[in-house]
Structures are given as structure tokens and as C-alpha cells.
Structure 1
Amino acid sequence: MNIISYIHPTRTYLPCTGIGRHINHILLGLAAQEGVNLELFFSQQWLVAENKLDPRCPLRELPKHTFPTAENATERKWKLWGSPSMDNYIPNDADWLYAPMETYIPVSKCPVAVTIHDIQAFEPNLPWSGTWQHRWFSYKWGRWVRRALSECRVIFTVSEFSKQRMVNLLGANPQKIVVVGNGVEQSFFDIASINPTQLHRPVEAPYVFIIGGLRRKKGASNVLAVADALHQRKSYLHIVVAGESEVEYIEAVKTRSNLTLLGMVSDQELPRLLRGASSLLFLSPYEGFGIPALEAMAAGIPAIVSNCASLPEVVGDAGIVVNPEATHEIVDILINLENNSSLRQEYIQRGEVHAAKYTWSQCVERVASTLKQFA
């Protein structure tokens, strides 16, 4: 099976977000499968020394095809007008054009499969749904998503929640939407066997860990409320945040002694930081999946997640699901997990069993078998 995979190379550079991890693991896994010939497809603007992708890209050694025009301008034309056709840049023997991310690509010589990780753009009841930014975002996505849902032979997504929202909000055909999920790297399972007291810690105090930065779309206001309530309760628990944060929240942290921002951390550092934490707090109001929750479980710490979108589905009964605005309830849980070793151990054991069900190899196999079935 000959697969041409369209990517945005910058999304794959390490360290990367959950979608970047999905792209890297799925494509490297497909390339390693017997009977699969996978080649990348992207704008030649991303080629650097030795006619390869940036060294930060784990996919740089894979064979490739490129098109000569700039990525942003070309993709904007695809989404607005359905042109220019990419048939001239794709080999004649291609069995599939596959994009492990959201896009629309005008191609007629082979079937197309794309991955839509979530449809946040069309959600009407999010805290920011009434903003002009969200309305503009929804308008732009509306120009191409429905066309992709209609014309692509297969639509992949990462959760049953995202699949159902495509059906409910956009009238998508559920028969062509396939849930492939996400996985957890082995490094998170490996770190679980190490005594956390032996690891270098970002702060001396026991800490709750947050992944995704302090951003509105990650529930930053609720995190600040939790920090304030911990301070009022005179708790020694600290909150440590990994990821890029928005300016207003960076300023807010300056007045809170129990909050530390680490910024972006490497993939090598993340398992250690998780393992050293008392728990993971993930109060995002909207996720298509939510990989950090599973990474926390694999690393051997409890995961506390919001009761929104896909998160209850992803953690099942192995995580603690909360109303992200129930600040005092959340603080009670955080303190109880730190002080009650039997409760903490119960959720650690549940989490490790649950996280073990999510492997990248299974995700790769779902993609490969679907492409064979729908060819």
C-alpha cells in the first residue's frame, strides 16, 4: 500500500503538542509496517540543509515529495476554492493521500483520508464561543470542513466524543468516521518504577502538575482560583505549570507564591516532572482527547480532569472527574490525595492499568487496517 502523507512539518518539531505527537507516532509506525510504503508531502519551503526537514523533526529521514508554493497561501486556496489540484505532485501509484491532521486537499487521482482531532470551531457553548475570534475561526473552518467531511473517503478522529460532535453539529456520516485514539510513550511507563524522591524536582514543596500552560482555553482562570484557595487553606501544595502561557496569566502568577511557570519543557523532562508530582490537574473546558491525563496515569500519579468534552471518556473510572468551577471541591481532592496514601494508591493502580490500554502501535494498526478496508 502506497501512502502519501501531507503534513505541516513545524507541528512535528520536538517538543510538540499532542497533535504533533500523534503525527509523529502514526507516520513512523506506518512507515515501519510491512507492506506499507509511506512518503511525506509538504511545501518545499521547509527543506533545510541536505534537502531535508529540520533536525527537530523525527520524520526527516522518511522519503518525501514537495510542492513549490508556500504552505499557508496554498492551503488557504485549497480551503477557499478547492484548488490548485495537487495531482501533479503526487505519484501515480499512490493508493492514499493521508493527512494525520485537519486540512482539505484537492486531489482526484487517489482517495483522501484526513484526521480531524476536534471541531471546537463549531461548538456553540464554550466560554469563548461568543467572541469575534471564535466566530472568525468558525467561519474559516466552515469554508472547508463540511467539504472534507463530504468528499474524503475516510475521516479519522481521536475520541468517540469528537466523532459524535461531527455527527451532531455538522451532519457527518458516522459510517466514514473512524476513531483511532492516541497512545502513551513508553518513557512514561518506565518512570513509574522510579522512587519520585530520587528525582530532581522543580520546587521543594509537594506539587500539583499542569500541562498546557496557563491559557484561557486550558482553564487558566480555574487554575488560579485553585491556587488562591490552596493559599487560603494554608496548604503547602504548590502548582507547577508546563507549557506556554498567555500574558495576562503570566502577570497573575507574579502575585501568587504557590504557582511556578516552567514554560515549554522537553519530551525528556516531562515524564520526570509528572512522576515527581502529587497529581495532575487538567481543567481544560474542551479537549478532543487529552493525552496528558493518560501520561500522568502511566507515570504513576492520579489524574484529576474536568467533566468537559472528551476527558471523562478518556480517563474512565481511573481518573477523578470534577466540575472545573468547583474550586473548593477540587482543593479538597488535591489535599486528600496528598495526605491519604491509600486513596492515592487506589487511583495510581487504576490509572496504570487504564493507561496501558493506550498504545501508539494500536493506533497505527487502526489507521492501517482502515485504509486497507476502504481502499
Structure 2
Amino acid sequence: MTTTPKLSVLDLIPVRDGQTSTEAVRASIALARLADRAGYERYWFAEHHNMPSVASTTPPVLIAAAAASTERIRVGSGGVMLPNHAPLVVAEQFAALEALAPGRIDLGIGRAPGSDPVITQLLRISGPTADVDRFPDHIADILALLSPDGATLRLTSGREYAIQATPAATEVPTLWLLGSSDYSAKLAAELGLPYVFANHFSGEGLERALELYRSGYRPSEAHPEPVTFLTANVVVAPTAEEAAERALPQLRAMARLRLNRPMRPLETVDQALAAPRDSDAEQLIDAMRHRWIIGDADAAAAELRTLATRHGVEEIMVSPVAGARADEPRDAAPGREQSLTLLAEALAA
């Protein structure tokens, strides 16, 4: 039986040539409002640093803005990169978000730094934040700090010291572990937590990660059964030709990243189409294109249904990576809006 999945959104807040951060963020908040109206399940912001084409550096700030601009959709992080932050700070930020939008906050946590080694050192210049080798302990700390009962710290004097992320919590964010390797799948299973594999980023190892998570899952009070969904890069347009053109700027940007070339703001569709041929980049683009969902609404919906059925999931989080044309407004994202609208309509039909 074919599954029609629920839809969610992952947003990196792309910044294109000639666009300011203000315009890029404004376009993404408008996209969150559209997703809310269109019935999407959740809207997550990623954490990346020092990338000219990505403005999603601070998920808690963006989540607060999106929560204030929407009504029913869940909003969250996809994810907070825990090695860059103290666990107490993360717990306090998301406890505050839960107070702002009760029952609508997701805390997705990853183990990678989300940037290059230089930026990683800058993020930790004031001293240790979260030791990556103690990642499981820090996850347990955040869970305890977010709970209404809080956590207890035993001081060297032997005295116990009570700590709470917020003084009077009634609800807590849903904590998800994110990853692109076996590590987080195994840890999420051990802790009885929801888990998401970063399929949009890599695609390699998806089947193994899901099998490890499901087969090793230990039921928890909050999650008696394993909870997971898939992520996918998606470009949807009225025609397959337009979808292919709108996918090109992001495909070329990913090729530059993997070839270790200098990063820059995303090209417009016009710039990408006019760019000289590059055989090294084109080989990578061809390989990536087959893993992305690029096409008209009916074809994209069929691919998503197949993907959900094949991997036994009831939800797919799409990263709408459609590029913009040079004559389109800089404070909006018509191509990404088109992708979300057409996809929701096709799956609902």
C-alpha cells in the first residue's frame, strides 16, 4: 500500500546574489506562514556558520520569529549543533520558546559543529561549551533541565543544587536527535528519542541508520514506539523543465562545496544557466540530481509517496531549494513558495 506522507519543511535561509540578510530572512518567514496555511506539520531552521549563501546561523531567534508569525505549525531546529553551546543555554532557550508557543516547539540536536575548523574554534573561544565526547551526557542533561522537575547538581561540598531551565514549566519541547551516521541512530534508540537521518545532505547510509534505530529502540515513557521521518531536497514547478532550471543554483553551490572551492552567495537561475561548463562540477551535479526530487507536482508527489512507502515513514521533511530568477523580488522566494504550494496540493489530491 502506498503511503501519502505528511509534509514538513527544513529551511537554511538561502541568500542569493544581491540579496541582503534582511531580505533573505523576510522571505523565509513568509515561507513559514505559507507552510502554516498549507497544512505542513513542522518548520525547522538549520544551524550553519560563516557561509555566504546561508543565513540560518541562530535557530532559536528564527524559531521565535516564525512562531510569532504562524498559528498552528510546529517550529524548531534542524538542528542546534550542541558542541557549539552549553547544554544549560540550549535548555533555557528552548524552554523560553516553549513558553512563547506551547505545544509547538521541536528541539532537534546534532553532534557536528556546522562549520569549518576555524569557525568552530571561534565559537568556543570563551572556553569549553559542550564536549563532543560527552554528547550522550549533555543530551541527558538537556532532557532533565527541560523537565518540570529540573535537575540536581551535587557540588564538591556535597550539597545538592537544584537547576531548572525555566521556573514553572508545564510543557516541554520535543527533543529529536539528528545525524548522518550510525552514531545518533544508535544513541536515539538507546535513549528512546525521535530520530532523523540527514538524507537531504548525504543520502548514503539511510537504510542502515533506520534499521539500527528501529531494531535497537528502547521504548521510553514519552515515545513508546520509534519516531522518525525522512528529509529530501525538493524543487517543484509547473513543468519539469522549470524545476530543473530552478534546481541548478543550489546544485552548483553544493558542487562547489564538495570540490572545496570558495563559497559565495547563491547564483540566480539566470546566472547558473549562463555559467561556463565545468566537467568536475557537472559530474557531481549529475550524481546529486538523481537523489533530489525535481519535477512537476504530480511527479514529485509520486516520488515522495514511493520514498515514504519504501522506508516506512509517515512524514517527509522537504528542503525547498528552488532558485530565484534575477527579476524576482529579493524579499520573497517565489520558487520555494511554488514548490511548497504545488507539492501540498498534489499530495492532497
Q: TM-score, normalised by structure 2?
A: 0.35
Larger RCO (alpha carbons 8 Å, 6+ apart): 2
The structure number with the bigger radius of gyration is 1
